[in-house]
Amino acid sequence: MEKFRTIWTTEDRYVEVIDQRKLPHEFVVVKLETYDDAEEAIKDMIVRGAPLIGATAAFGIYLAVREMIEEQLEGSFLDQAFSDLRASRPTAVNLFWALDKMRAALDACEGDFLTCAWDAAKALVEEDVETCRLIGVHGLPLIEEISNKKKGEVVNILTHCNAGMLGCIEWGTITSPIYQAVQKGIKVHVWVDETRPRLQGANLTAYELTRHGVPHTLIVDNQGGHLMQHGMVDMCIVGTDRTTRNGDVANKIGTYLKALAAKDNQVPFYVALPSTTLDMTIRDGLKEIPIEQRNQDEVRYVSGKSKSTGKIEEILICPETTPASNYGFDVTPAHLVSGLITERGFCAASEEGLLSLFPEFKKKVT
């Protein structure tokens, strides 16, 4: 399987990422040299996906430490960097986890501050790679079981948004079991929801499945229900930006409707997540997870490669004055989730299930 990463460091110890706004038409690399660059990358969705947002924020703190030292700035500069990065996107809890981790590493630092920040950000990235690999190990049997039941026929998997390697560092969460199934010779086919308005499915999931040679078909967001009613989906797997102690799952807008359709058609609906996406301090996802609202022009316009000019263009799809609403995420209640696939194994979407795998969270509750 082809291996590439979504974030890496350069010889001069800066950071580079793929400009995901340009995929699948152009592969453009963006260099991050300041914490502002990292903040903008997260806000503008040059990078996106819960684990990658966290990794970019961690390197953002490293860059802030570097700026502070090189330009002899006050410690308040670093505090500002922490609070600006914290405010860059509200829903994915990995962002706050990564910043807390960087704060702890700097608080505990006994040697050179810059080296401590560098080492902590690098370690966080390596941890995500291994975590996602393990999610694949634990998710693979779910695909394998269906394949065995179907006597080796193609397993049809539906996914929403991009919870692939492009949302992480390597492997991805939902794609890790899929890539490992393909490596094992299991026949799979992925139904890729286009995922309006930012088209993470069409632009990103389809791109990485193509690069990895995984058979897939792009569908409009509303097609999944029909496919499920006609027995054309064996399982759904989605990612998450924040999962509560009770197993409620916030993910890209539209995930909830897929879960409802899956329940109605007895299609298993799995969520793949690293434990860094758990928010064990809250229980009720609907009441307690902040849902990002983004610019209405993301809905009013679509962006893509023009059929006639071959150029990337933005096209208005409604009357000039029509307003749009743009909630970025929704919450799928735990009772609609068939199970959680984590780096420690598979569990029920419930407090009991999560604590069976992560007993260290027993005390962490509001």
Positions in 267-326 near ligand MRU (CB under 6 A): none
- Strand-pairing partners, residue 249, are 243, 332
Is position 48 an interface residue for ligand MRU (rule: CB under 6 A)?
yes
Q: In angstroms, what is the minimal distance from the CB of 49 to ligand MRU?
A: 4
Site for ligand MRU in 55-94 (CB under 6 A): 92
12 is catalytic: no
Say how far apart CA 84 and CA 348 lie, in whole Å: 36
Q: Which stretch binds ligand MRU (CB under 6 A): 104-112, 121-129, 162-170, 301-309?
A: 162-170
Cis peptide before 197 (omega within 30 of 0): yes
Interface with ligand MRU (CB under 6 A), residue from 49, 54, 90, 247: 49
User: Tokens 């560092």 belong to which residue?
Assistant: 169
Q: Measured between alpha carbons, how far is 24 from 71 in angstroms, rounded to an integer?
A: 38
Q: Tell the residue number behind the tokens 């199934």, with chain if given.
A: 181
- Residue closer to ligand MRU by CB (options 180, 251) is 251
- Contact set for ligand MRU, span 175-204 (CB under 6 A): 200
| 53 class by beta-carbon count within 10 Å (0-12 exposed, 13-18 middle, 19+ buried) | buried
Distance CA 307, CA 317 (A): 16
Q: How far is CA 77 from the centre of its chain?
A: 29
- Look up residue 10 and give its amino acid: T
- 139 near ligand MRU, judged by CB under 6 A: no
Determine how β-strand 155-159 pairs with β-strand 188-193: parallel
Binding mask 323-362 for ligand MRU (x = CB under 6 A): -----x----------------------------------
Smallest distance from ligand MRU to CB 230, Å: 25
Using the rule CB under 6 A, which residue among 51, 139, 201, 254 binds ligand MRU?
A: 51
Choosing from 193, 221, 241, 279, the catalytic residue is 241
CA angle 353, 162, 360 (to 5 degrees): 25
* DSSP states along 199-236: THIIIIIHHHHHHTT--EEEE-TT-HHHHHHTT--SEE
Instruction: Please state the closest distance from residue 297 (CB atom) to ligand MRU, in A.
Output: 16
Binding test (CB under 6 A) with ligand MRU, winner from 163, 192, 280, 282: 163
Q: For ligand MRU, which is the closer residue by CB, 94 or 147?
A: 94
Q: How far is the CB of 160 from ligand MRU (least distance, A)?
A: 7
354 and 340 in contact (C-beta within 8 Å)?
yes
Instruction: Supply the minimum distance, in Å, between the C-beta of residue 214 and ligand MRU.
Output: 16
Q: Least CB distance from residue 239 to ligand MRU, whole Å?
A: 3
Q: What span, in angstroms and rounded, lies between the C-alpha atoms of 234 and 181?
A: 15
Active site members: 241
What residues line the site for ligand MRU (CB under 6 A)?
48-51, 92, 161, 163, 167-168, 173, 200, 239-241, 251-252, 328
